[in-house]
Chain A
């Protein structure tokens, strides 16, 4: 993303809306400027701000006049008055930033808009997490801090050393150079993204071990970590296996997303597909 200096009037609205705080008014040129090192190409500025297309010279004149008279200008806080934001042509490796930061861009690896996969959201048709298993989503960078792949790799290599397999269709997995070691491509390690998620699945018996491992590694990571834990309920809709383990570890379970099991396979599948992809339908 770039801000056209010929259009920018330094109103400052965009400095507040950048999730990374990467936009500032450069005092030398009196224009809003993007710190490209911190910008994650989330396009929140371009997509989220409403736009007027006022004449920049006119707006600058009005602003200066008001400023001289010490009159507080009170414009709408979510508007770029001159439509000064212009998307850049992104090239590798910088385009990874956008893929992990702009939710409107689907990952080619998953086809899902966002940074993760379908995980337990479609568990009623995918059967991804079965009884006796636990799915983890380990998310970095959120909320509003951002993360570099170098930090994510600290966690992925630790998990790989613990013998954990990564979800194949996850966007981070698709960027690993050696999945068995959890190593991420060297050319993107310094790229910063708004958020990224590692997804794994283990037997319930390993729940505590994995959480303790996450606790240990997250101390070395310069970003908060958000843990999500997915589990299959029994035929009565109860989940009394994983929750007690989490509570024993000190977590107070407040919020969850609950798959209510109304999904079913409706695609017409070839016999070859059916043989290849066993479906965990509702029991």
Chain B
């Protein structure tokens, strides 16, 4: 899930963005991993995640394949965490997303105590992850730095669009949709919450952070940097 690594933005912009994920390693600890991965997701619930997901079925906000015409006026915009937990049917990367450091720290402490034996990673600012590890009394094992985007960067859009679209590192949230949502919030056609929900539904592994998206949309609509 390098898809959590290259989120665009300065370290400060990850103050409400903590992705904690669990993964088993093929041939090393994948036997019997499924119940442990499910346990990881269940353990996240008391810490109020803003998203939860697995790499196969998606996150807690998903598209509906059989919408009724009337559902336009009362669409479900509440994340369904239990559906993610119940739907996990094969070992894959699973993630819990938090919008504050305290929740992430407490969750990491709980995961440590549970001793699942899975590899656990925190994807956020370097300092944020260090603080989580310090709070849980865990020395970091390895670190994967993002050096950001380089090369033909002239092909990339403006910063606010990038911050929204790169929250799905698999690239399922297009720049065009991110820009459209900024415009719609600016025009008052949708609230930042509604726009963030649309964007979150496109993320195919549940790591999109709707809280951070809402904050970026609000700032972008006012013409401010997020």
Contact = CB atoms under 8 A, between A and B. Distances in A.
B118 to A, nearest CB: 6
Interface in A226-267: 226-233, 235-239, 242-243, 246, 251, 253-267
By size class, the interface of chain A is 35 or more
Q: Which of the four size classes fits the interface of chain B?
A: 35 or more
Interface string A1-42: 000000000000001111101000000000000000000001
Given A145-B155, A224-B151, A267-B31, A139 B141 contact: no
Interface string B46-65: 00000000011000000111
A226 B189 CA distance: 34
A197 B2 contact: yes
Nearest to B67: A52
B160 interface: no
A15 B132 CA distance: 41
Nearest to A142: B171
Interface in B107-136: 108, 111-112, 115-126, 129-130, 132-133, 136
A143 B175 contact: yes
B63 A230 contact: no
A113 interface: yes
B124 A16 contact: no
A101 B1 CA distance: 14
Contact of A77 (B6, B55, B139, B177): B177
B81 interface: no
Contact of A123 (B26, B141, B166): B141
Nearest to B141: A261
B119 A119 contact: no
Interface string B87-103: 00000110000000000
Contact of B29 (A16, A219, A267, A277): A267
Contact of B143 (A53, A126, A137, A257): A257
A194 B171 contact: yes
A199 to B, nearest CB: 10
B152 A224 contact: yes
A262 B56 contact: no
A77 B184 contact: yes
A18 B174 contact: yes
Contact of B144 (A256, A264, A279): A256
11 contacts: A47-B204, A114-B3, A137-B144, A195-B170, A230-B145, A254-B9, A259-B121, A259-B140, A262-B111, A263-B29, A267-B27
B171 A42 contact: yes
Given A47-B63, A142-B169, A228 B120 contact: no
Interface string B151-187: 1110111000010011001111111110011001000
Given A262-B111, A267-B29, A267-B30, 9 more contacts: A16-B176, A50-B201, A51-B65, A121-B121, A228-B144, A228-B145, A233-B143, A254-B11, A254-B126
